[in-house]
A and B are shown apart, each in its own frame.
Chain A
Amino acid sequence: MLELALKGNKKYYGWITALLVLVGIGFGAYLTQLGFGLGITGMSRDVSWGFYIAQFTFLVGVAAGGVMVVLPYYLHDYKAFAKVTILGEFLAIAAITMCLLFILVDLGQPMRMFNVLLYPTPNSVLFWDMIVLNGYLFLNIVIGWNVLEAERNNVHYPMWLKPLIYISIPWAVGIHTVTAYLYCGLPGRGFWLTAILAPRFLASAFAAGPALLILLCMIIRKVTNFDPGKEQIQSLAKIVAYAICLNVFFFLCEVFVVFYSQIPEHMDHLKYLFFGLQGKSSLVPWMWTSMALMVVGIILLVNPVTRKNENVLVVACLTVFAGTWIDKGLGMISGGFVPSPLHHVTEYAPTVPEIMITLGVYGAGFLVLTILYKMAVGVKEEVRS
């Protein structure tokens, strides 16, 4: 089926070239990092995880969000989603690819990566994260590929696939739960030390993932002959609406516990993010923007009039995606490290090479996504004609 991704018009190849250039620039910057060390990033002794791990966390969410089209179709027999499940699965593949790349570029000694397999350590959450992420990647490749191939050949997908599909549903919840456990099980990091972290991660995932999926569906409709469908997009929009409401609700639960109990170790991180601490406040405008975007997203998505207008829906999805990205891709990781366990306030901001590497990884992910979607759309067009 891969040959379908080779046949494209000029625009398609232009887009592929642009992505390759982005990957090339990122790779160049990565070679510098490989030579010098992680010192070319903005990370420090106090803020020892930065942009890479934050993007990783956000994208695990996007990957898990793909399940929101798989679940209604396979568990509730919601037939409308038959058309778009493959888009969810392929989005998950691209997102997990980016996650793994972000982990790789964050390692101080990437050539020793396989030590995680050579000296497996079940008491480390990172070990389990490695297992669930690779497992989810594997599941989605096998499921996505075989279902698409069956569709192309006009037959039902093989029955041995059914159990894998059922497993992939709780597995999607698993990847983001385990990712949250990376953070929320650490003593002495008050910002993350909360049982609501995993549910909050999932809620923001089920908002950001389907929001991106809606945007991708609209793009596909515009640039190809395949229409993912109005009903499909509206159903996804309802999922985004509920999920973003839950995300804000969970966040407010955290805010209540933290500020009513007034335990400083938990309070100071939120104070830093939203008001600044000891005169350091570089994330404050970002965090309030994130909140505003999510609230606007809720208003536009909950109201049926605005939700049903597809032009407004695009805006709503963009605000939800941007809002959740700032929340997780900027605030979530830095926020946990500031103030430090000794209560020093060391701020973090990514450097230019760090951003270049980040964009390179995104480029690689979108390259995978483009090729997979081109293939999927190719099959859909073939079957239709």
Chain B
Amino acid sequence: MESSRRRFLTMTGVAVLGIGAKPVLDVLAAGQAEGAGSVELKKGDGALKAKQWAMVVDTRKINKASDLEPMISACHKIHNVPKMETKNHEIKWIWEEEYHYAFPTEINKFLSEHAEHVPFPVLCNHCENPPCVRACPTKATFKRELDGIVMMDFHRCIGCRFCMAACPYGARSFNFRDPRPFIKETNKEYPTRMKGVVEKCNYCAERIAIGKMPACVEVSNGILTFGDLYDPQSAVRALLKSNFTIRRKQSLGTEPTVYYIV
């Protein structure tokens, strides 16, 4: 009796350990490479295509906060971004910051009057070398190989918030409570989130898939330009060629894909 019970417990223990260890050992055996089981995504016929999406913000065209307002509200409306009651629980995908906060490492004592006074739009930089993707323990945030968008799987995220600590741009928000009561009008075409997961800008991946430009770009009145960073013919490259641009915290090696003409 005693020995059979002990044997049963041991076997159960080994079995539980085995179940847990199997996927871990699999991935260690496969190394970084995704094995034969990887899925291929087919692009839709009308989808916009790029090797790496990028954005150029022409801050010369910004004069006051109301110039950015349409972009922010368009984004937050179609993505069901809630308006929370307290600042601690705030969720934002694109928002405005003063130059000093957008570029805290590049502050000159005497700035041009324009840079000093206009609001800068800030959002996820969809870095080419994203530290948040490196930090995520479940691949809930990942860099899409297709077009370089840093995406979120809201259903896989465990809410550990390692990505928020890793992001040098404060681009990520956490659902500290159920966001649904705080969404004025729910857009049925895009999922709402539940409490306990992280979210952020997705470069409007759902719109690109059906041939539309990101929502903020569409209503930006030419302030924002969106295109393929590695297509020499793209609108983005044309702007980068003819203007001097800066990026947020370039020295960190994250390779942000949002460029600012100042």
B134→A124 contact, CB < 8 A: yes
B170→A342 contact, CB < 8 A: yes
Cα A344 to Cα B136 with chains together (Å): 24
Q: A37 contacts the other chain (Cβ, under 8 Å)?
A: yes
Q: B197 contacts the other chain (Cβ, under 8 Å)?
A: yes
A116→B158 contact, CB < 8 A: yes
Give the nearest-CB partner of B168 in chain A. A188
Cα A342 to Cα B198 with chains together (Å): 19
Partner of A108, one of B91, B135, B196, B249: B196
Q: A343 contacts the other chain (Cβ, under 8 Å)?
A: yes
B1-32: which residues lie under 8 A (CB-CB) from chain A? Answer: 20, 23-24, 26-28, 32
Q: B211 contacts the other chain (Cβ, under 8 Å)?
A: no
Cα A199 to Cα B167 with chains together (Å): 25
A48→B174 contact, CB < 8 A: yes
B174→A341 contact, CB < 8 A: no
A155-172: which residues lie under 8 A (CB-CB) from chain B? Answer: none
Query: 1/0 per residue B136-164: CB within 8 Å of A?
Result: 11111000000000000000111111101
B102→A342 contact, CB < 8 A: yes
Query: 1/0 per residue A94-126: CB within 8 Å of B?
Result: 000000000100111110110111111111111
- Measured between C-beta atoms, what is the minimum distance from B61 to chain A in Å? 23
- Measured between C-beta atoms, what is the minimum distance from B22 to chain A in Å? 9
Cα A64 to Cα B42 with chains together (Å): 49
Question: For A109, what are the chain B residues with a Cβ–Cβ distance below 8 Å?
Answer: 157-159, 194, 196-197
Partner of B24, one of A42, A48, A120, A342: A120
A115→B101 contact, CB < 8 A: no
A32-83: which residues lie under 8 A (CB-CB) from chain B? Answer: 36-39, 41-46, 48-49
A119→B156 contact, CB < 8 A: yes
Cα A75 to Cα B28 with chains together (Å): 32
Number of interface residues of A (CB under 8 A): 51
Partner of B101, one of A127, A182, A187, A343: A343
Main secondary structure of the interface of B (DSSP, over half): loop
A341→B169 contact, CB < 8 A: yes
B101→A344 contact, CB < 8 A: yes
Question: For A49, what are the chain B residues with a Cβ–Cβ distance below 8 Å?
Answer: 161, 165
Q: B231 contacts the other chain (Cβ, under 8 Å)?
A: no
Cα A120 to Cα B35 with chains together (Å): 14
Question: For B197, what are the chain A residues with a Cβ–Cβ distance below 8 Å?
Answer: 108-109
Query: 1/0 per residue B74-114: CB within 8 Å of A?
Result: 00000000000001111100000100111011000000000
Give the nearest-CB partner of A337 in chain B. B165
Q: B73 contacts the other chain (Cβ, under 8 Å)?
A: no
Number of interface residues of B (CB under 8 A): 56
Q: B70 contacts the other chain (Cβ, under 8 Å)?
A: no
Cα A341 to Cα B171 with chains together (Å): 10
A121→B136 contact, CB < 8 A: yes
A126→B134 contact, CB < 8 A: no
A126→B159 contact, CB < 8 A: no
Give the nearest-CB partner of B179 in chain A. A37
B89→A45 contact, CB < 8 A: yes
- Measured between C-beta atoms, what is the minimum distance from A34 to chain B in Å? 9
B37-86: which residues lie under 8 A (CB-CB) from chain A? Answer: none
Partner of B137, one of A41, A106, A127: A127
Most buried by B among A183, A342, A343: A342
A45→B165 contact, CB < 8 A: no
Query: 1/0 per residue A114-151: CB within 8 Å of B?
Result: 01111111111111001100000000000000000000
Partner of A342, one of B101, B177, B178: B101
Cα A182 to Cα B101 with chains together (Å): 26
- Measured between C-beta atoms, what is the minimum distance from B242 to chain A in Å? 29
A108→B177 contact, CB < 8 A: no
- Measured between C-beta atoms, what is the minimum distance from B258 to chain A in Å? 14
Question: For B169, what are the chain A residues with a Cβ–Cβ distance below 8 Å?
Answer: 188, 341-342
Interface residues of B (CB under 8 A from A): 20, 23-24, 26-28, 32, 87-91, 97, 100-102, 104-105, 122, 131, 134-140, 156-162, 164-170, 173-178, 194-198, 249, 252-254
16 contacts between A and B (CB under 8 A): A44-B88, A46-B170, A103-B160, A118-B23, A121-B136, A124-B135, A124-B136, A126-B160, A183-B165, A186-B135, A186-B165, A187-B168, A187-B252, A188-B167, A340-B170, A341-B169
Interface residues of A (CB under 8 A from B): 36-39, 41-46, 48-49, 103, 106-110, 112-113, 115-127, 130-131, 182-183, 186-189, 264-265, 336-337, 340-344, 346
- Of all A-B residue pairs in the complex, the 9 with the closest CB atoms, nearest first, are A108-B159, A188-B168, A108-B196, A39-B176, A44-B88, A37-B195, A126-B137, A39-B177, A37-B177
Beyond A42-B88, A126-B162, A127-B137, 13 extra complex contacts between A and B, CB < 8 Å? A45-B90, A106-B160, A113-B158, A119-B156, A122-B32, A124-B162, A187-B131, A187-B254, A336-B165, A341-B167, A342-B104, A343-B101, A344-B101
